[in-house]
Structure 1
């Protein structure tokens, strides 16, 4: 409701009335989530299976409870990620067992877990590539994506001061939040943490934890304290099978990020270069309009801003490159 109120008109509305602000802030506080469209709200808390006992790893078996656009495209956009989460669930327990295996110096188990991780990451990448089946890039770009935007770094989209949460009786405050982003998924950060991938070029990854379910964020913090797989691989360069298995898993995670970059190209960059027929001469101002202005002027992809408020393409490419940088180089294995 708040996203629709903010982004539903020709220009964004800077003020949320008390009838929305007060309950929204109360519910957000209870859920320990920021008052904005987050991955947790749009995906993790917003789905149902189409029948009992159905395979939750397949997106066609799921649907979103609520959408902003009323389209099947939007529901499909969400449940692709939900199916990825379901498919990855066994991987969490498996990689925790790999951590325990390191403590026992059980290299065979670590190698087996890394091999399985590589295969499962490839499976998740294939799920992401199914987005085209039921989510049209044009519909996503013009009718879904604008509503997912936050209020941070959204000056070009029409919110230079963020959004004012009016509490009534002359009270309230201006606030800026990042919008919904898959970077807020604890699953992606789980992969980074378990493989020892470091993202030191930006604080964005760490900031995204403040948009996660608190139990998920705390789990990642606890995981950071015990993760040991990369150190184990680095300390045993003579175990060529171990090094190869680790580097293959890292490459698989990097390939997943490549899939994400290709998705961004199809769903954001290419549509931004095509002005919607019904928007010619329009005064509509939102994330789609701002991004289309960038694309139609032929500006570099460096200028595109994601719904989370980050410089979209540079951020994704840097994350991919930092993933590859985690690979262990030895006489047995080269990057």
Structure 2
């Protein structure tokens, strides 16, 4: 295989863009046409959850929404999935010490039907929690902190809002970087060193902006409030100490009244860091976190996981990650390429280091109050601290030899 035989990449082919990255091409729908009951439940959810009335309201209704229609557009399916996912988790975790082990059919059936349309499991995932859960205060201004608010909350409040908005801002900031990464891959494929350098420069600029946004997390999200008022509702029911057998989705024929286990919402379901790992050629040896991260792709929108697979398939004739191999081969002839590549890997390591620090401060140091919200296990259901540190070291090692 020659370099010209390597398939090219395109953001648009995977529903991505330089302006929005992995965020949807159009702003998420705020209301669901013809679904007044579900709209109202979503709007009332913080009050219902605070009063512990979510289960009662759902159990009192035979139907919380009309029939799921195959002809609904993607925006509608995403918005319905957002509300159903929040309501479903509120139902399960309304009393964190006594989580529900069964979801009534009025909630379980439409949730599973919509999830199937979107190619994701019927559980709250990062896509519904962040990617499809925002609106702009001024539609003529950018998608960024100060101009975005959430469409759906659990309890609400500044800390919950800020925690999710930080992620959304980072997703928007990543867009130009993804374009730069793709540009660098195209240029490496065509042996255009100047264009590789330009692409790496764009990626570095985006990573710097992402880092600066992530550093703002403590401004309005307190570790104790996050742990005790935000985190309890995003847990799933796989590897859960409080729900060891998962939960039963009543009235869903394909589940045959058998308990199902799905991971909880987690930033590990964002496609940004996996895309950077794949595009920059950062390898991770097999370990429990690596296996878990592969599983997390099942919770991503299908086009996003397809983009990751396409990036990983971009290899040179020696079978090396394309971009990494290209700059390594030119360390002496084009040292500026290697410096630009190393700068990007270092920025990725910085991002990971901040994340490790937050994981320790916001979760690991907090007091474990009940089995439904353990400090040693992430919301996705895995022990995280040892492996986060290991993956940080894996990233640093790429540019140490």
Asked if these proteins are the same fold (TM beyond 0.5), I'd say yes
Q: What range is the shorter-chain TM-score in?
A: 0.7 to 0.9
> Pairwise mapping of residues 1-335 of structure 1 onto structure 2 (< 5 A)?
1-9=87-95, 10-56=97-143, 58-155=144-241, 158-167=242-251, 171-201=256-286, 202-226=290-314, 228-238=322-332, 239-272=334-367, 285-287=371-373, 290-291=374-375, 304-327=376-399, 329=401
Q: Alignment length, in residue pairs?
A: 303
Deviations 1:35-74 (A, max 9, x none): 1111001001111111111121x22211110011122321
Question: Secondary structure of the equivalent of 2:258?
Answer: strand
Report the Cα distance in structure 1 between the residues aligned to 2:336 and 2:215, rounded to whole angstroms: 30
Deviations 1:98-143 (A, max 9, x none): 1111122222222232233223212211101111222222211001
- CA 1:62–1:37 in structure 2 vs 1: closer, same or farther (change >3 Å)? same
Report the Cα distance in structure 2 between the residues aligned to 1:247 and 1:77, rounded to whole angstroms: 30
In the alignment, structure 2 segments of 5+ residues that lack a partner are 1-86, 316-321
Report the Cα distance in structure 2 between the residues aligned to 1:152 and 1:16, rounded to whole angstroms: 15
TM, length-normalised to structure 2 = 0.72
Is the 1:152–1:309 Cα contact (8 Å) retained in structure 2?
yes
Report the Cα distance in structure 1 between the residues aligned to 2:384 and 2:343, rounded to whole angstroms: 26
Partner of 1:281: none
- CA 1:94–1:118 in structure 2 vs 1: closer, same or farther (change >3 Å)? closer
Deviations 1:269-328 (A, max 9, x none): 23337x6xxxxxxxx5421xx33xxxxxxxxxxxx1100112111121122112122226
Question: Secondary structure of the equivalent of 1:78?
Answer: helix
Report the Cα distance in structure 2 between the residues aligned to 1:203 and 1:27, rounded to whole angstroms: 27
Root mean square deviation, CA, Å? 1.9
Report the Cα distance in structure 2 between the residues aligned to 1:59 and 1:73, rounded to whole angstroms: 14
TM, length-normalised to structure 1 = 0.85
